[in-house]
Amino acid sequence: MRAVAALLLPLSLAGCAWFSDKPPENDYASTSQNQFVGANYKAADVLLSQLNGRLAGDKPLIMATVVNIDALDQSSTLGRLVSEQVSTRLAQGGLRMLEMKLRTSVYMKRQQGEMMLTREVGEVAHNHNAQAVVVGSYGETNDAVFVNIKVVQPQTNQVMAATDYVLAKDSVVRSMLLGR
């Protein structure tokens, strides 16, 4: 009996240890080193470099929500955050960015952000005296998310600046894609 108890005790303790393992928590240090913000800021820096001297200083830009390339009327937490961070970095770089969430004349699709159809871009830009609209899309694979951001002159649809980049589909990026 003691021999059986001696064998069962270590096994039961090992079983308890196995069940008590917690998934790793996202603390500030690991989150702050995540690729996401840095990749979005780098993309905005590329746009700023391409736009250098090509924009009027007194007219704003509008940032549209980055959308799913396979469903252009849909976005996700990832698309909305890419839009927010690119807009933030463009403003930090000295561009005048209009905050469209404060405007009531833009079509707001629930849970999607500022969704603008092609025919609406020129009208919205004209109404807000915007010289350009920043648009973008993303497409996902099993392992990565491919992001494209463009600055478009709304009257001519001319692309003034553009950049592409890839995000590894880590746990943070995966969770943002689930938050549609």
Q: Which residue has the tokens 């064998």?
A: 7
Q: What is the pLDDT of residue 104?
A: 47
Q: Show the domain range for 72.
A: 35-178
Token digits for 14?
A: 């090992």
Number of domains in the chain: 1
Number of other residues whose CB lies within 10 A of the CB of residue 110: 5
Classify residue 72: in a domain, yes or no.
yes
Classify residue 30: in a domain, yes or no.
no
Classify residue 57: in a domain, yes or no.
yes
- ∠ CA 119-86-174, nearest 5°, is 95
Question: Per residue of the chain (180 residues), what is the pLDDT tens digit?
Answer: 565 555 555 555 555 544 445 445 555 665 567 789 999 999 999 999 999 999 998 999 999 999 999 988 888 999 999 999 999 999 999 999 988 765 444 444 444 444 555 556 677 788 888 999 999 999 999 999 999 999 999 988 899 999 999 999 999 999 999 866
169 vs 142: CA distance, rounded Å: 8
> In CATH, what number is assigned to the domain containing residue 173?
3.40.50.10610
Measured between alpha carbons, how far apart are the two ends of the chain, in Å?
58
Measure Cα distances from 49 to 45, 88, 128, 135 in Å.
6, 16, 24, 17
Give the pTM: 0.75
Classify residue 119: in a domain, yes or no.
yes
Classify residue 11: in a domain, yes or no.
no
Classify residue 40: in a domain, yes or no.
yes
Classify residue 19: in a domain, yes or no.
no
Classify residue 148: in a domain, yes or no.
yes
